[in-house]
Structure 1
Amino acid sequence: MTGSNETALQGVLLDALTPYLPPYILTLLSDKYILAFTISLIASMGTFLGGIIVCVLAKATGADPRSKATAKLMGVLEAFSAGVMMYITCFDLIPEAVESIGSREAMFWFFGGVAVFGVLEEVIMPSHDHDEEDGHDHEHEKTVKGSPKGKKGGKNNVNSKGEKTDSSTTTTTAEPALSAKERRDLLRSSLITFVALAMHNLPEGLGVYLAALSDLRLGTQLAVAILIHNIPEGMAVAVPLYAATGNTTSVLWWTLLNGLAEPLGVVAGGWLLHGYLSPQLLSRCLAGVGGIMACISIHELQPTAIRYSGKTIATSAFFGGMVVCFGALEAVNEWFGGHAH
């Protein structure tokens, strides 16, 4: 895009925002660096939006994080997010890296990302079987459902007020769908996904910033595409966290922080390391991130989805995520009349 066309597009954008923003904000946005940073910040909010969607759906449906129905829905959403992330890796990040730095170097960085994921997995809440502890959880569940202690006395059990109660009725409603080990595994999956996606967002936000500086139209197109595909990534963090804790405040905070890694990447890379940046370096980083995202999909999200929703439903949701991602990104490309990558 020529300088005159870019200036014209910036003017159109600012004219469209004039009724909604105060004059001093419009003055700031007239600076191309601040405008590029703002575009990157907007793209990062897709992750937070994914967390909001999970919380709204949970509240609207009255979903109980302890129920089996919620666990099944969680499996579907996990598989959907895994499909989106695999599509982005296979048909976006890797092809772009191959075009920029060649297939050999791109795959070297891809498998480097796989190795980084392995290290992350061992550093962040290492996975152990905890067979003995899990056995205690299941033993406790059996006791709650109706052990000799639970049934002893039947209707002759007496509560603190001296009233007779039916222990078989009261214990059935308190039955948890998730054991302590399952909740711990969900928290671990959410944390690993959070860290890995934050690493993904750092170069991604920088890519939006640099694209908007060189070509405002391309940067805006890229920002919209990233905003869309960040939504299921935010859901990938939010779903297991909500299922394990039921705390919507934690879900919103963690997804917001995850998305803010994109403008942080702009600050760290665009302003502090500006002299060392190049398209090739960004492609290497994104190829490595592709390896991490592939591992998240295959090793964390999809096995969790199969465990809670079954193989057939999880597989269908996985490919459904790929189809939706393809359709959404193609719609963005058609809207802008070109390709973001």
Structure 2
Amino acid sequence: MALLASTGTFIGGVVVVLLARISGADLSAPSTARLMGILEALSAGVMMYITCFDLIPEAIENIGSRETMAWFFGGVVAFGVLEECISFFDQDHDHDHDQHCASTSENGKPSKGEAVSKAKGVSKQTRADGSSSSTTSDKEKRELMRTSFITFLALSLHNLPEGLGVYLSALTDLRLGSQLAMAILLHNIPEGMAVAIPLYAATGKAWSALWWTLLNGLAEPIGVVVGGVLLHSYLSAELLSRCLAGVGGIMACISIHELQPTAIKYAGKGIATVSFFAGMFVCFAALEAVNEWFGGHDHTPQIGGNGHSH
């Protein structure tokens, strides 16, 4: 059942690839860049809604507001540390790249990259702010890859306890476990899109985006194996709520610090803002549909009698 639920992220990746193929997936085209910005903002809205109206309220009910917010801000700090580590490696890469360029052109001749740029011209795009820059620059691709990597990591951490939720629900009631698996599958679709959008934009490789969204979803059955089988005696609703509150802090940072700025860069502030709230509404509608069809979903179901549905 956890494996079934995990396919939602892969479906999200398929949606992104199909949309990209239809639009041409060329960031040098303003319409395509705008579409990517809109999708980034939609993903940011989805992640923010899940954090504020799904994960945090459930954690507060299980462990109280003070402890929930302590873990939430712990997740914010963890994101800051991760961001600094990634920025450090990016700076090292830029330094090595600059040294390489200097060494290849020290005899007064242009480097190979410069020659190619002069011969073929550099592809430009006019961004939402009216500025022009190379759309295929290594720096821009690294920024998109970084956004995708951080999103992948955070959603993998989010999916681990979700897999445990499916496992524990199925132990209590097979029908309840099936319903929860379907509910999680549906709300994993936009999460898969959040991983796939920047990755596909950076690489242009459909197989890469699909592979990483599939791997992201597999965190749920991995959570079953690690938590449900090896650590079953230590599990509690309180422990899962603490984990989810911390992940909520990371997801909020990703929405604000990574996804939404990228959306504004490509789509403009107005369109990105509207798309952000549209993403929140889409997530609200999806979770309400889950509540109507399956009677709600719960990340911490019936562990010591503390689970709840919403």
Give the TM-score category using the shorter length: 0.7 to 0.9
Structure 1 residue 237: Cα displacement: 1.1
Structure 1 residue 172: Cα displacement: 7.4
Is residue 279 of structure 1 aligned with residue 241 of structure 2? no
Give the 5 Å matches for 1:111-150.
111-124=73-86, 126=88, 128=91
CA contact (8 A) 1:65 1:246 kept: no
Give a deviation string over 1:164-193, Cα, whole Å, max 9, x none: xxxxxx647798524221111111111111
TM-score by length of 2: 0.81
Corresponding position of 1:84: 46
Distance 1:338 1:285, change over 3 A: closer
Partners of 1:215 and 1:286 in 2: CA distance: 23
Structure 1: stretches of 5+ with no match in the other structure? 1-38, 151-169
Structure 1 residue 227: Cα displacement: 1.2
The aligned length equals 276
Corresponding position of 1:71: 33
CA contact (8 A) 1:80 1:317 kept: yes
Corresponding position of 1:60: 22
2:168 maps to amino acid: L
Q: After the TM superposition, which of the residue ranges 255-264 and 228-237 deviates more from structure 2?
A: 228-237
Distance 1:191 1:173, change over 3 A: closer
CA contact (8 A) 2:24 2:32 kept: no
- Which one of 133, 138, 155 corresponds to residue 180 of structure 1? 138
Structure 1 residue 220: Cα displacement: 2.8
CA contact (8 A) 2:144 2:198 kept: yes
Is residue 230 of structure 1 aligned with residue 188 of structure 2? yes
Partners of 2:296 and 2:15 in 1: CA distance: 29
- Which one of 283, 289, 295 corresponds to residue 331 of structure 1? 289
Corresponding position of 2:128: none
Structure with higher Rg: it is 1
Structure 1 residue 64: Cα displacement: 2.0
Partners of 1:188 and 1:300 in 2: CA distance: 9
Give the 5 Å matches for 1:131-210.
171=121, 176-210=134-168
TM-score by length of 1: 0.74
Partners of 2:78 and 2:86 in 1: CA distance: 12
Structure 2: stretches of 5+ with no match in the other structure? 102-111, 126-133, 299-308
1:43 maps to amino acid: A
CA contact (8 A) 1:40 1:223 kept: yes
Q: Match of 2:291, SS?
A: helix
Distance 1:233 1:99, change over 3 A: same
Root-mean-square deviation (CA, aligned residues, Å) is 2.6
Partners of 1:337 and 1:276 in 2: CA distance: 28
CA contact (8 A) 2:59 2:68 kept: yes
Corresponding position of 2:107: none
Is residue 292 of structure 1 aligned with residue 254 of structure 2? no
Is residue 314 of structure 1 aligned with residue 272 of structure 2? yes
Structure 1 residue 208: Cα displacement: 1.7
CA contact (8 A) 2:16 2:196 kept: yes
CA contact (8 A) 2:25 2:201 kept: no
- Which one of 27, 38, 47 corresponds to residue 9 of structure 2? 47
Matched-pair identity in %: 69
Corresponding position of 2:104: none
Corresponding position of 2:218: 260
Distance 1:285 1:338, change over 3 A: closer
Partners of 1:314 and 1:128 in 2: CA distance: 29
Distance 1:173 1:283, change over 3 A: closer
Structure 1 residue 284: Cα displacement: 0.9
2:40 maps to amino acid: E
Give the 5 Å matches for 1:9-48.
39-48=1-10
